[in-house]
Copies of this chain bind each other. A is one copy, B any other.
Amino acid sequence: MATVSRVLSSKPGNQSVRPETRRRVLEVVDRVGYRPNDLARALLQDRTATVGLVLPDISNPYYPPLVRGVEDAASALGYRVMLCNTDRDENKTAAYVDTLIKTRVDGIVIAGGSTSVGMLHRVLEPYRTKVVVVGRHQLEYPSVQVDNVAAVHEVIEYLTGLGHRRIGFVAGPASSITVQDRHEGYRAALRAAGIEYDERLVREGDLQEQSGYDIASALAAPPSRPTALVAANDRMAVGAMAALIDAGLRVPDDVSLVGFDDVSLASYLRPALTTVSVPTYDMGCAAMELLSRELEGGGQAAGTESRALSTTLMLRDSCAASPD
């Protein structure tokens, strides 16, 4: 048994097995299709080489690239990934975290603001499970972020540069910090541009296409129609574009439109959607790498390391000079 173990988990400085023996072992291993049981190994070494990935909903096109990033990095670093969709539901989140603890995952990547990171902290307290957060900026855990506030600033500057003053905003639910930051950035950027915040130009959607459609339809009514619309994500932007077209308005001639996320279809819409590209794939990779560093790094590691990635405004065809 011990010899087989030595052959199979041959570490660099560990050559105490005769070549001939090694060969024989490998021959049998191959013949019977033997695979060491990682459960037993994990039990002994107190390390599962598995991480949990907790996010609101993989069906939201924002997440798949992030998941790929996490998984590709995990795979490269020798970790497995367990997927957990919470729908931002506290109960589901708690249940998943419970499960993750029971399987003794080494770490957890948590993306998309579950409101209760405090809860997480308390539950995880007796364990060594490391946590990395994506898209939030709290001090308890290391995080990977993007400056959404600055990103909106860039958008608003671009639009005001085109002469727009009445700029509407298709907001998202309070449960998403990312989306809240975009909303906050919108207010701040307007202020910076000397434009008063007009709440009649803002409506809150649920990040799905239909709500973008409904909101744009409502906002498109003549009395106070904005000349430009910024949506908190591309899905709502797509819905909004459909609504504007259906209302007989031309994009961008009558109304300019800007999205957020740069999902893969954005550049194939007609007009192609101007939007803010968020490096979600890279964020996923970075998160996993941060987590790995925490884990390999022995002790409680470098406190609250944090990594900031930058967004890019993708100028395409959905914006034009204000008709005013």
Contacts and interface: CB of A to CB of B under 8 A. Distances in A.
Interface in A11-65: 32-40, 42-43, 48, 50, 53, 57-59, 61, 63-65
A210 to B, nearest CB: 8
Given A39-B104, A50-B82, 12 more contacts: A38-B102, A39-B39, A50-B103, A58-B64, A59-B65, A71-B84, A75-B92, A82-B83, A208-B264, A235-B265, A238-B265, A246-B270
A80 interface: yes
A37 B68 CA distance: 29
Interface in A239-277: 239, 241-242, 245-246, 264-265, 267-270, 272
A197 B159 CA distance: 51
Contact of A68 (B36, B57, B71): B57
A64 B68 contact: no
26 contacts: A32-B126, A33-B125, A35-B101, A36-B102, A38-B103, A39-B39, A39-B48, A50-B103, A58-B67, A59-B68, A61-B61, A61-B264, A63-B64, A67-B83, A71-B83, A71-B84, A71-B85, A80-B82, A80-B99, A81-B82, A82-B83, A83-B83, A209-B265, A209-B268, A213-B268, A242-B269
A119 B213 CA distance: 48
A21 B99 CA distance: 25
Nearest to A123: B33
B242 A264 contact: no
A98 interface: yes
A290 B213 CA distance: 38
Interface of A: 32-40, 42-43, 48, 50, 53, 57-59, 61, 63-65, 67-68, 71-72, 75, 80-85, 92, 95, 98-99, 101-104, 123, 125-127, 208-209, 213, 235, 238-239, 241-242, 245-246, 264-265, 267-270, 272
A104 B245 CA distance: 53
A81 B269 CA distance: 35
Contact of A103 (B80, B123, B239): B80
A270 B247 CA distance: 12
A119 to B, nearest CB: 12
* Copies of this subunit: 2
A52 to B, nearest CB: 9
Contacts of A103: 38-39, 50, 80
Nearest to A72: B85
- CB-CB nearest 8 A-B residue pairs: A33-B126, A38-B102, A242-B268, A59-B64, A83-B83, A58-B64, A245-B270, A35-B101
Given A39-B39, A81-B82, A104-B39, A239 B268 contact: yes
A37 B32 contact: no
Of the candidates A53, A58, A125, A126, the one having the most CB atoms from chain B within 10 angstroms of its own CB is A58
Contacts of A36: 102
A105 to B, nearest CB: 10
